[in-house]
């Protein structure tokens, strides 16, 4: 059975590596992008099952990536979990209104992130009918 593929979008290589170790240990295949442009390209070429998205990115920000997702019928149902070190007022509300499945501020407890990932995947696959 193909592994679930998660695209990790973060400009910090250490953060990408740490997430990669944790996600792979939990059976996920991990793809990477380090800025808004390469993230948008990866979405189109790889069509991941889920995106973990930082907001503070070079060449745009996480909201640019989310906007790109929602403009495409093919990509619009890919769940996005925002994981950001930014503390700008309104980011959380804006991300959730833009369709993020969850919003976390770094650092995040691994079990919370993994739970949110599983819940978002189940919801996107129609395995959950309402918010549990």
Partner 1 sequence: MGPHSGERIHTADHGIERKRLVAERDHALQRATKKEAQLSPDLSHELRNALACIHQFGSILVDGLAGELSGEQREYLGIMLENASKIRSALDRTVSGPPGPS
Closer residue to partner 1 in complex, CB, 21/76:
21
Q: List contacts with partner 1 (CB under 8 A).
A: 12, 14-15, 18-19, 21-22, 25, 56, 85-89, 105-108, 110
Query: Minimum distance from CB of 111 to partner 1 (Å)?
Result: 10
**Residue 77 in contact with residue 124, Cβ under 8 Å?**
yes
**Cβ closer to partner 1: 40 or 84?**
84
With CA atoms as reference, report the closest residue to 81 among 41, 37, 120, 26.
120
CB of 77 to partner 1, least distance (A): 28
**Between residues 25 and 44, which has the closer beta carbon with respect to partner 1?**
25
CB atoms within 10 A of CB 3: 11
Q: How many Å separate Cα 72 from the centre of its chain?
A: 16
- Cβ proximity to partner 1: between 4 and 26 the closer is 26
Q: How far is the CB of 119 from partner 1 (least distance, A)?
A: 20
Instruction: For residue 56, give Cα distances in angstroms to 46, 49, 111.
Output: 22, 22, 23
């Amino acid at each position: 059975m193909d592994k679930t593929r998660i695209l990790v979008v973060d400009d910090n290589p250490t953060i990408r590596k740490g997430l990669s170790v944790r996600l792979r240990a939990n059976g996920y295949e991990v793809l990477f992008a380090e800025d808004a442009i390469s993230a948008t390209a990866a979405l189109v070429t790889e069509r991941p099952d889920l995106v973990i998205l930082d907001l503070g990115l070079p060449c745009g920000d996480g909201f640019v990536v989310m906007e790109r997702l929602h403009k495409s019928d093919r990509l619009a149902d890919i769940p996005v979990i925002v994981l950001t070190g930014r503390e700008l007022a309104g980011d959380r509300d804006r991300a959730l209104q833009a369709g993020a499945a969850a919003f976390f501020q770094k650092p995040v407890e691994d079990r919370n992130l993994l739970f949110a990932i599983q819940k978002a995947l189940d919801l996107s696959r129609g395995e959950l009918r309402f918010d549990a």
